[in-house]
Chain A
């Protein structure tokens, strides 16, 4: 009783300290979700508009989400690419667009001086609602994307990553690389992009995040105006669940590199997973805590086999992968993989020690404030909470849920979720001496 009382006090206390992270939530008139945090001390704001329009929405047009996103600021309303860039940069604002498998976003960082911010917001609003997808801009950006896809083939790490997702996800929309592949991207037309935009860049499918030195009434106006000219549209169908492969898989890709890149893993967890915190804290011990993790210690500190050795879960809307990775000189690949897999087996079978768990909890809760100590990090957290519809008090409850994890719950979760026999292993590198 005493202990839980104490932790209660601590939580209340931390809430008071981090009151800067108070997230407020509402909807615009058109039904776009808004998440807002007021921060003080710096006259700046970070604003993101996020759509459920990541590469999981590509269908068979692998890469269309990425190229659509890349085209947005190359022409909108009466503005061409030069003018758009000038409008932002002349007021010192930073604007960007991007995608992941789940999301597509437009992001703005601006000073909050009224004239400067208004100029930037007006331009952002035009880009969101009136992109032109001109043929000339389309052709150029497509060529740049194709060059990027070609460049990717120089990198054994990138090749390993693509093969890993392909092996794990097979026909699922998470399987292909977000930026697409040469075969699909070269067939795109500007009209394909327009169609993708019209379907997914709609108010019903939009979320707005505002973090910065902005009062709430102002934030409400900003949110309304950013999506005011968007079509209402519809929410897209749910991305399908991921099927789980119940056998292991190995693949080697020959590449003339000095090192072999190794990626090994299984389908992992999703954002609202009931095992979320057990797997998170467990992985922290196994391979997620940098210089003190078990994988780092076994692969690098004890044996000098690699510069980096790690594991992580990438939680997404659907189950993202659990990935272990390392890079090592070609002729010691087998040895490194054996060490990696044995470390995992050991962890799954025995679970962490009490001591290791305590250390992990101390690290996670002791460094809790550092998760959102900048506007940048806070903006990412709020976007994540909003997009995945996590509880608005996610951050407030975070430490409590970490504390609730036990050796038994970690062991149980790993036994069910990270079965060593189902591990998929990809190697890319030279096969000399192998």
Chain B
């Protein structure tokens, strides 16, 4: 009972205290560039991120991974700032910078001492429109990206299993393709492909500039005007919907790779906030993921890793913030003496239980308490706060949703969790991959993988 009181205190207390306190300021420039500013004065620092609405899910066949390749090339210079200058200037100003590409976005960021923010704006604005794509630089950078692919995917049995898994689970959704691209696509990008991709998507009206830190919103808007306002908007052709056809029955694949441990991946096709019938259902699926894998007291750790000791690790996850329909994912590694098939059965049993029995009030409150606490912890990081705003805006949900999250999760009931389990976690929409470990033997003389380039 003591417990209950504490939880009650938690739920009432902080929502009003923390949630709506920090305002996000929005300004849309005449050319369509959206600027979001969130003030955080805890430290004299600032993060500036620019998000472009383009990523691997925008890519047609033959040039998969080109968004990521272009992200690399964006560091290769403009007329004003030749290759290397961008990074050199940011560095000399004490800044840290990098970029990342996902299925639904490409983003660039600089973290600086707050008074240097103009340096970041000046450089980032320049490469929005003035990138110079050079065939010699491209040739070298293709090698770099191919090495990146080898490191991230080809030499990692689980990553490679995930790649095969996604390619099987989706029939025609672009989510079937890896963000880094298929090897033979990477090997064959031409400068013209990159030029076209750059011209098509890198425009003020296809971007969101997010700034979080020790800054004044008006000053940031003025800087944005100063550096971006001359850019004409582009006519952005909307990307084709490529809506996934309905899956008709379970799909399975067995992946044989040199590895030491077996591994299981399962994914149910589910909608996301962007596409779901009733908004609350997406939040209910989030809670459901928290019931299974919201820490060490959640069901997978408690029942499968400890209780039955059938898994050495097990996880579940759902990203409601994707642009297109997603997979509700489960993954697990069997304990010694157990098989992936035992695990598959045990995980399905957990899903079955969620459909047939209501989750306990205590479990539901635990998830809500964690969501609430996390909403405070997240504010420790400017970068994370900027990520949230940038991502929501870029996938088309709208940054305003960030403030609703805790509230919406709080409204979810045990019945709703059961109902979304019944409605969406369907056997016919399930995809399964097994990593079937093969001996790690002496390396054989292997032909180069398809993406390999010649040594000189």
B141: interface (CB < 8 Å) = yes
Output the residue of B13, B84, B142, B306 with the most chain A CB within 10 A: B306
**Chain B 162-181, CB within 8 Å of chain A: the 1/0 string?**
00000000000000000000
B135: interface (CB < 8 Å) = no
A28: interface (CB < 8 Å) = no
Task: Kindly provide the distance from the CB of A21 to the nearest chain B CB, expressed in whole angstroms.
Answer: 10
CB-defined contacts of A332 to chain B, threshold 8 Å: 455
B312: interface (CB < 8 Å) = yes
Q: Are A362 and B42 in contact (CB under 8 A)?
A: no
Q: Are B87 and A291 in contact (CB under 8 A)?
A: yes
B349: interface (CB < 8 Å) = no
**Would you list which residues of chain A between 3 and 62 have a CB under 8 Å from chain B?**
17-18, 20, 39-44
CB-defined contacts of B157 to chain A, threshold 8 Å: 154
CB-defined contacts of B426 to chain A, threshold 8 Å: none
Q: Are B369 and A91 in contact (CB under 8 A)?
A: yes
A306: interface (CB < 8 Å) = yes
A431: interface (CB < 8 Å) = yes
> Given the known A-B contacts A90-B6, A432-B446, are A43 and B93 also in contact in the complex, defined by CB atoms under 8 Å?
no
> Given the known A-B contacts A89-B370, A366-B95, are A308 and B151 also in contact in the complex, defined by CB atoms under 8 Å?
yes
> Which of A144, A154, A254, A373 is in CB contact (< 8 Å) with B45?
A373
A104: interface (CB < 8 Å) = no
User: Contact size class for B?
Assistant: 35 or more
Q: Are B302 and A85 in contact (CB under 8 A)?
A: yes
Task: Kindly provide the distance from the CB of B297 to the nearest chain A CB, expressed in whole angstroms.
Answer: 3
Residues in B lying within 8 Å of A, measured CB to CB: 3, 5-7, 9-10, 13-14, 17-18, 41-45, 75, 83-84, 87-88, 91-98, 111-113, 116, 139-148, 150-151, 154-157, 258-261, 294-298, 301-302, 305-306, 309, 312-313, 333, 335-336, 362, 365-366, 369-370, 372-374, 376-377, 379-382, 440-446, 448-449, 452, 455
Task: Kindly provide the distance from the CB of B163 to the nearest chain A CB, expressed in whole angstroms.
Answer: 14
> Given the known A-B contacts A81-B306, A89-B294, A369-B113, are A256 and B442 also in contact in the complex, defined by CB atoms under 8 Å?
yes
A-B contact pairs, 7 of them (CB 8 A): A82-B297, A91-B10, A113-B9, A290-B98, A308-B151, A359-B92, A368-B113
Which of A145-153, A196-204, A222-230, A411-419 is the interface stretch?
A145-153
Known A42-B380, A93-B373, A331-B455; further 10 A-B contacts with Cβ < 8 A: A40-B42, A89-B298, A115-B9, A258-B446, A291-B91, A292-B87, A297-B84, A307-B144, A359-B88, A366-B93
> Given the known A-B contacts A147-B335, A370-B111, A374-B381, are A86 and B297 also in contact in the complex, defined by CB atoms under 8 Å?
yes
> Which of A93, A257, A291, A363 is in CB contact (< 8 Å) with B98?
A291
Task: Kindly provide the distance from the CB of B47 to the nearest chain A CB, expressed in whole angstroms.
Answer: 9
**Would you list which residues of chain A between 56 and 104 have a CB under 8 Å from chain B?**
73, 81-82, 84-86, 88-94
Task: Kindly provide the distance from the CB of B141 to the nearest chain A CB, expressed in whole angstroms.
Answer: 7
A259: interface (CB < 8 Å) = yes
**Would you list which residues of chain A between 278 and 303 have a CB under 8 Å from chain B?**
289-292, 297, 300-303
A348: interface (CB < 8 Å) = no
Residues in A lying within 8 Å of B, measured CB to CB: 17-18, 20, 39-44, 73, 81-82, 84-86, 88-94, 109-111, 113, 115-116, 119, 140, 143-144, 146-148, 150-151, 153-156, 254-259, 289-292, 297, 300-308, 327-332, 359, 362-370, 372-376, 429-432
Instruction: Report the separation of the CA atoms of residues A140 and B313 in the bound assembly, to the nearest whole angstrom.
Output: 12
> Which of B91, B151, B296, B376 is in CB contact (< 8 Å) with A85?
B296
CB nearest neighbor in A for B447: A432
Q: Are B147 and A111 in contact (CB under 8 A)?
A: no
Q: A-B pairs with the 6 shortest C-beta distances? A: A366-B94, A92-B373, A85-B297, A367-B94, A304-B143, A304-B140
Instruction: Report the separation of the CA atoms of residues A155 and B362 in the bound assembly, to the nearest whole angstrom.
Output: 40
Task: Kindly provide the distance from the CB of A19 to the nearest chain B CB, expressed in whole angstroms.
Answer: 11
Q: Are A366 and B116 in contact (CB under 8 A)?
A: yes
CB-defined contacts of A331 to chain B, threshold 8 Å: 455
Instruction: Report the separation of the CA atoms of residues A74 and B36 in the bound assembly, to the nearest whole angstrom.
Output: 45
Q: Are A140 and B309 in contact (CB under 8 A)?
A: yes
Q: Are B376 and A44 in contact (CB under 8 A)?
A: yes
